[in-house]
Chains A and B, each alone.
Chain A
Amino acid sequence: MLALFYIFIAIAFSIGIWQVNKLLRFTKKTITDENNQEVLAFVQSEENPLATEKNNDLHGKFFLAFLIAFYALMAYCLIFLNDIMLPESASVEGENDDNLFFISFVLIGIVQFATQAMLFFFSYKYRGVGNRKALFYADSHKLELIWTTIPTIVLTGLIGYGLYTWNTVMDLSDADNPIVVELYAKQFIWEARYAGADNTLGRGNVRNIEGINTIGIDMTDENSADDIPVRELHLPKGRKVIFKFRSQDVLHSAYMPHFRAQMNCVPGMVTEFGFTPKFTTEEMRLQEETVRKVTGINKIRKAKGEDPYIFDYLLLCNKICGASHYNMQMKIVVEEEAAFYSWLKKQPTITEIVQ
């Protein structure tokens, strides 16, 4: 019933708009009534449904104003929203990504500023006022050639650089002595497994899930014995990490924005991604952009009376996976290699756990 009430209000409001608009067309006018006396009356002027010269003038100018306001919005977003952006890439591979992004962004920024300016400025400049005559100008092969060729050249460059970056990031074959980690997704929890001393993960399948073996490690596989399942992800700085992703129920996506890393976790198959962490968590906390962002966040949290936030790397789920999708996360700790190994040594292997 309440819904009907809201709908009724919306309808009443809309009709109100129509009526007000009608009322606004009444103007005071002196007219002569039937007794030949001049009286002041409200007369409804007929609206001309076509744009008049006055309309053209006004809306042409509005477009110019809109352009200026739009420029202001773009400038505001570029300058002030800069503080909320992700800090520089925390992985070596991500640097390529950041460069490519910067180049692309500058390019599209230039095109955006230029074409919007032309569009709205022409809308203003050529608004139909004062007996303007349009120019009959239907074609120009020269112009067409120019604006087909220039985007083609620019895009060829972008595509080339893009593909180079993509292949660099996705090619895991030349990794030198990488650390192999499995990331395992299920509704709404992340788990991880290190490959252990043999650096080879044992086979896994959901049909092996039983009791404490929550990620379905195949215990008959000899590579499984030294695997180390964990609930918090630690990574060594400066070592290439190759991730193998699995999911036991629906699609998930392992998103590690600070490392410019993301890969879907697909039930029934193993997917891969790899990167080399560049800064430890401690180093990242001191990094200038991070400090700026965290300061901003803590200002907001303080106003709300919440505890201050300390920066940590995160793994988020970025593929809709159910009710608690919005809260499927795991902390990532990047530390120096020695610290990493001493942490890893303390973690029990799957064999120890099962026994």
Chain B
Amino acid sequence: MSEHHHKETFVTKYIFSQDHKMISKQFLITGIIMGVIGVLMSLLFRLQLAWPDHSFTLVEAFLGSHQTDGVMDPDMYLALVTIHGTIMVFFVLTAGLSGTFSNLLIPLQIGARDMASGFMNMISYWLFFISSVIMIVSLFVEAGPASAGWTIYPPLSALPQAIPGSGMGMTLWLVSMAIFVASSLIGSLNYIVTVLNLRTKGMKMTRLPLTMWTFFITAIIGVVSFPVLLSAALLLIFDRSFGTSFFLSDIFISGEVLHYQGGSPVLFEHLFWFLGHPEVYIVLLPALGITSEVIATNSRKPIFGYRAMIGSIMAIAFLSTIVWGHHMFISGMNPFLGSVFTFTTLLIAIPSAVKVFNYITTLWKGNLQMNPAMLFSIGLVSTFISGGLTGIVLGDSALDINVHDTYFVVAHFHLVMGISAIYGLFAGVYHWFPKMYGRMMNKTLGYWHFWITAIAAYGVFFPMHFIGLAGLPRRYYTNTAFPLFNDLADVNVVMTLFAMLGGAAQLIFLVNFFMSITRGKKATQNPWKSTTLEWTTPVDGIHGNWPGKIPTVERWPYDYSKPGHDEDFVMQTVPLKEGEEES
């Protein structure tokens, strides 16, 4: 970073900014917009699931030609679940969560003036922006957007004859995702280099806040696994457009035999899940990092087992790259492989259990400050437990046979990565809003937001396990074709009501967020009495972060309520007293 700053124009400050703080806001707001679209879609298909064949003006209003008299078409139902999944997993929980907080916090918490490359950082955002625009444009394609499920398994995703969404909609989906991967890779490389090279004096790796550890490891998982998705997407583009047969073989459709021979959809599944499973942790780890920080600060206690936490993050990251096959137990792959993947998968329960117990022990004998961020973090631990435990059923190949692709899976991953990660996102926004905008968010609205969301989330996803155990497959446009499932209809209605409640609660968040940007109460420099470096910067963030020299780090980040100090927190910049031991 150069020491003297040019006068910035509107364009360089707000649009093509290279300042990591502005870029993080751009990621967040784009993520929020995508999140609104994703949630709205889920409400539309929840209406269909609860009251199939009923006419809704809401459906009529939003689905245009893809509905008949207020009832959505089956193809559109599949498109909605597909795009909902894609948007929530990639655009909201990867870019919106990791993009926002890695950008905001990495330079601030390690004591750097900016990212290693501000320019690459800017490129990363704008690629993400372009890919978001393409994804939104794909919604308006005449034949409808991609509708082969967010996992886009070929041949369904390769053949427009099989489903109309696999025409132009799928092409745009693939292009959008290819650009998204580029964005993610550029961002991740930047994060890794920044954490390794730009730490301020005294900031040893073992003094990094756990947020930094999770963002750092997340970036590494991203760099390892995202390119594989890119290659899968490229090969699929070849199959679709240039007649190759990587994933296709022996297909008879619309009365004719296609020329494809020798490829295998199972290969695609391997490539997809080699990213797809680590992706779960790309989504989840940053949320867990944020939670570690928020729980420690608001418990006024050091996070319990700092080193064990780092160890479990690394263990989870390593294991996450060798478990992808548990999505494919019944794909037709060799059952022996199934055994291997069962073994590695269930091992993940160990570091996960360590993390949960460490969170709970951090709360124990704390002095809990119930700020909205804290509520969301406690909520996260709860949903992470509830969702994680059912992973023990799903990761067990023998049990997976009967619950694979049922609503049991849907309930599992929504709790463990969907709701948990979104809680992490909210916790982060409430906690670091003062660092982003120099103002505080409204506390009362934050409380309402949390409690309604928490009730709604369990209201939707807890009963969902049981309709899954009743054998109900996911991605069914309606369950009325089977009398066997008649008795699940009421449960679906209840879930939809809770979903609508939860959706409405997000309006509280949106208004709180956008109004607080201009009308929130002015923040003080360190409102939560936290110890980490970001709270030593001026309230109104400046380009370069610190006006003078970058502070030196003297201790680890969790000296809360340390005996021998007057206050219940000691900033990382405060030198150790004589005879004081670093924890």
* CB atoms of B561 and A135 under 8 A apart: yes
With A and B bound together, what is the CA distance between A49 and B349 in angstroms?
A: 38
* B residues in contact with A329, CB < 8 Å: 481-482
With A and B bound together, what is the CA distance between A165 and B455 in angstroms?
A: 37
Closest CB-CB distance, B483 to chain A, in whole Å?
4
The stretch of B3-11, B17-25, B225-233, B296-304 in contact with A is B296-304
Say whether A316 faces chain B, with CB atoms less than 8 Å apart: yes
With A and B bound together, what is the CA distance between A234 and B141 in angstroms?
A: 45
Residues in B162-210 with C-beta less than 8 Å from chain A:
162-163
* CB atoms of B251 and A128 under 8 A apart: no
* CB atoms of A320 and B148 under 8 A apart: yes
One digit per residue, 1 when the CB lies within 8 angstroms of any chain A CB and 0 when it does not, for chain B 442-481 equals: 1111010001001100110011011101110101111101
With A and B bound together, what is the CA distance between A74 and B463 in angstroms?
A: 9
Residues in A195-227 with C-beta less than 8 Å from chain B:
205-207, 209, 216
CB within 8 Å for A269 and B264 given contacts A46-B521, A126-B366, A170-B338: yes
* CB atoms of A21 and B442 under 8 A apart: yes
Closest CB-CB distance, A235 to chain B, in whole Å?
18
Say whether A309 faces chain B, with CB atoms less than 8 Å apart: yes
* CB atoms of A300 and B491 under 8 A apart: no
Say whether B330 faces chain A, with CB atoms less than 8 Å apart: yes
* A residues in contact with B289, CB < 8 Å: none
* CB atoms of A84 and B466 under 8 A apart: yes
With A and B bound together, what is the CA distance between A167 and B396 in angstroms?
A: 12
CB within 8 Å for A138 and B306 given contacts A85-B470, A116-B386, A205-B250: yes
* CB atoms of B462 and A166 under 8 A apart: no
* CB atoms of A115 and B356 under 8 A apart: yes
The stretch of B235-243, B339-347, B418-426 in contact with A is B339-347
Residues of A in contact with B, size category: 35 or more
Say whether B234 faces chain A, with CB atoms less than 8 Å apart: no
Main secondary structure, interface of A, reads helix
One digit per residue, 1 when the CB lies within 8 angstroms of any chain A CB and 0 when it does not, for chain B 254-291 equals: 00010001111110000000000000000000000000
Residues in A244-279 with C-beta less than 8 Å from chain B:
245, 248-251, 253, 255, 257-258, 260-264, 266-269, 271, 273
With A and B bound together, what is the CA distance between A163 and B375 in angstroms?
A: 40
With A and B bound together, what is the CA distance between A256 and B486 in angstroms?
A: 18
Say whether A239 faces chain B, with CB atoms less than 8 Å apart: no
* A residues in contact with B331, CB < 8 Å: 264, 266
Which of B61, B406, B467 sits near A6, CB closer than 8 Å? B61
Say whether B47 faces chain A, with CB atoms less than 8 Å apart: no
Residues in A55-75 with C-beta less than 8 Å from chain B:
55-56, 58-60, 62-63, 66, 69-70, 73-74
CB within 8 Å for A51 and B444 given contacts A166-B397, A297-B486: no
* B residues in contact with A316, CB < 8 Å: 471, 473, 482
Closest CB-CB distance, B384 to chain A, in whole Å?
10
Which chain B residue lies CB-closest to A295? B487
Closest CB-CB distance, A81 to chain B, in whole Å?
4
* B residues in contact with A280, CB < 8 Å: none
* A residues in contact with B396, CB < 8 Å: 100, 104, 158-159, 162, 166
* CB atoms of B58 and A267 under 8 A apart: no
* CB atoms of B330 and A253 under 8 A apart: yes
* CB atoms of B265 and A14 under 8 A apart: no
Which of A6, A83, A134, A206 sits near B252, CB closer than 8 Å? A206
Which of B305, B369, B459, B466 sits near A144, CB closer than 8 Å? B305
* CB atoms of A5 and B583 under 8 A apart: no
CB within 8 Å for A97 and B399 given contacts A84-B487, A86-B471, A155-B347: yes
Which chain B residue lies CB-closest to A148? B354
* CB atoms of A323 and B251 under 8 A apart: no
Residues in A2-21 with C-beta less than 8 Å from chain B:
2-3, 5-6, 10, 13-15, 17-18, 21
Say whether B248 faces chain A, with CB atoms less than 8 Å apart: yes
* CB atoms of A206 and B483 under 8 A apart: no
CB within 8 Å for A51 and B369 given contacts A66-B454, A122-B363, A136-B560: yes
Which of A86, A135, A271 sits near B469, CB closer than 8 Å? A86
* A residues in contact with B364, CB < 8 Å: 122, 126, 137
With A and B bound together, what is the CA distance between A81 and B490 in angstroms?
A: 11
* B residues in contact with A253, CB < 8 Å: 330, 404-405
With A and B bound together, what is the CA distance between A302 and B252 in angstroms?
A: 43
* B residues in contact with A69, CB < 8 Å: 455
Which of B389, B406, B479 sits near A318, CB closer than 8 Å? B406
CB within 8 Å for A2 and B61 given contacts A158-B396, A251-B153, A268-B248: yes
Residues in B101-126 with C-beta less than 8 Å from chain A:
none
With A and B bound together, what is the CA distance between A298 and B331 in angstroms?
A: 35
One digit per residue, 1 when the CB lies within 8 angstroms of any chain A CB and 0 when it does not, for chain B 488-518 equals: 1111000000000000000110111001000
The stretch of A36-44, A105-113, A175-183, A346-354 in contact with B is A105-113
* CB atoms of A268 and B250 under 8 A apart: yes
Which of B346, B381, B440, B515 sits near A159, CB closer than 8 Å? B346
Say whether A120 faces chain B, with CB atoms less than 8 Å apart: yes
Say whether B65 faces chain A, with CB atoms less than 8 Å apart: no
* CB atoms of B155 and A267 under 8 A apart: yes
With A and B bound together, what is the CA distance between A329 and B484 in angstroms?
A: 12
* A residues in contact with B410, CB < 8 Å: none
Shortest beta-carbon contacts, A-B, top 3? A268-B249, A257-B471, A49-B440
- Using a CB–CB cutoff of 8 Å, the interface residues on chain A facing chain B are 2-3, 5-6, 10, 13-15, 17-18, 21, 24, 46-51, 55-56, 58-60, 62-63, 66, 69-70, 73-74, 77, 81, 83-86, 94, 96-97, 100-101, 104-105, 107-108, 111-112, 115-116, 118-120, 122-123, 126-128, 132-140, 143-144, 147-148, 151-152, 155, 158-159, 162-163, 165-167, 169-171, 186-187, 205-207, 209, 216, 245, 248-251, 253, 255, 257-258, 260-264, 266-269, 271, 273, 293, 296-297, 300-301, 309, 314, 316-327, 329
Could you give 9 example pairs across A and B, Cβ below 8 Å? A14-B507, A69-B455, A81-B463, A84-B470, A136-B301, A138-B558, A166-B342, A206-B251, A320-B475
- Using a CB–CB cutoff of 8 Å, the interface residues on chain B facing chain A are 57-58, 60-62, 73-75, 78, 148-149, 153-156, 159, 162-163, 248-253, 257, 261-266, 298-308, 330-332, 335, 338-339, 342-343, 346-347, 349-350, 353-354, 356-357, 359-361, 363-371, 374-375, 378, 381-382, 385-386, 389-390, 392-393, 396-399, 401-402, 404-406, 440-445, 447, 451, 454-455, 458-459, 462-463, 465-467, 469-471, 473, 475-479, 481-484, 486-491, 507-508, 510-512, 515, 520-521, 523, 527-528, 558, 560-563, 568, 583
